[in-house]
Amino acid sequence: MNITKVVSLNEAEELSASFMSPAARAYVCGAAGDEITMRANSEEWRRIRLNPRILVDASEIDTRTQIFGQTLDWPVLLAPAAINRLWHPQGEMAVTHGANQGGVTTVASTYATESIGNICRAAKHPVWFQLYTRPEREFNRELVSLAETAGCKAIVITVDTPVIGIRNREARAYFRMPPNFTLPNIKMGPEVHRRSPWKAFGLLPNPKLTWKEVEWICSIAKVPVLLKGVINPDDALRAIDTGAAGIIVSNHGSRNLDTLPPTAEALPRVAEKLEGKLPLLVDGGIRRGTDIIKALALGAKAVLIGRPYLHGLAIGGAKGVARVLEILRNEFEAAMALTGRMSISEIDRSVIWPDRLTQDLALTPKSRATEV
């Protein structure tokens, strides 16, 4: 199909259904339990209202931002997603070429069906590496070293997955790792295709991952380390002592534990707790350019998208990924212009219409109970 006819990320999701198998669709579209949090992730961004400034010169808009000394053309990254060849024969390489066209950083998954070296060589923008740990320190050390040698500019430790969530859609579709796939960044055992697609890898889950192990990984890494999967503000505060360089506020795309708060609700609470001590990123339910500007206003330095670019990948490979990013960037630039913010530094809490958000943040649990 002509990918340029896709005009929104929601439309890309609808159209992608005919380009993937039922099992692949269950994997990308499904979430934990009754999928309450998955719906809430996007609904909460839509609930927040914007507060525009008018009569501002909107002839030049600067979307550039910096994090860890790296310049991003605009504040969007591609979230880590496993086994990209489920959606296109070129898998991660198509994603990388699409990211090149879209001007964004890719966070490559431990479970990539392409080597991190090949991804980094093909990328025109910084690549980060998402780390799923094993209990064995030597394995974790080797993966960190592999990513750093390949040229990755940051390590992203997934910290919210001691066990796999209850994913009913995947179970109904009998999702399994296709027998012709390999994961070049890790060693796969001989039972990988006959057992659970995750437990066979020996990587997930790692119930032994603790703060102490995160601190050790931060101590050996030569690049910034971020913790992905932080929702609780107290956990965010504790992360400072580990040596972590940043936090990704995330509920794992709602794939692990249902009825967690949506990330749009968690983000301002984490930001309030940290008071700028660590840079924050956020993912979960980002589907519009207006969602991006809201996330930045609530304390994020950048956002990550996952499912949307996989839908684009299924529809059109690299061109599909690039089209999803083009749509989102056009929407984001329009949102900046129409709210009267010409640069990223001008996006602050004043972009948010103050009524409900301000009241929510101001109410303590005791005062909420009193008001009710």
Q: What share of the chain is helix, strand, coil (3-state, %, to 5)?
A: 50, 10, 40
Gap between the Cα atoms of 366 and 372, Å rounded: 10
Q: 252 catalytic, yes or no?
A: yes
Q: Which domains does the chain have, with CATH numbers?
A: 3-371 (3.20.20.70)
* Residue of 97, 125, 252, 311 marked catalytic: 252
**Residue entry with tokens 């750093």:** 148
The pLDDT value recorded for residue 196 is 54
**Do 106 and 127 meet the contact criterion of CB atoms below 8 Å apart?**
yes
Q: Quick one: which H or E segment has residue 96? A: helix 91-102
User: What is the average pLDDT across 330-353?
Assistant: 98
Gap between the Cα atoms of 340 and 335, Å rounded: 8
Q: Residue 123 corresponds to which tokens in the numbers above?
A: 């990328």
- Tell me the whole-structure pTM to 2 decimals: 0.92
The pLDDT value recorded for residue 363 is 44
pLDDT (tens digit per residue) in 118-174: 999 999 999 999 999 999 999 999 999 999 999 999 999 999 999 999 999 999 999
The pLDDT value recorded for residue 199 is 53
Q: Residue 350 corresponds to which tokens in the numbers above?
A: 């004043």
pLDDT higher than 60, residue 14: yes
Handedness of CA 52, 53, 54, 55 (dihedral sign): negative
Mean pLDDT, the chain, whole residue set: 92
The pLDDT value recorded for residue 192 is 44
pLDDT higher than 50, residue 360: yes
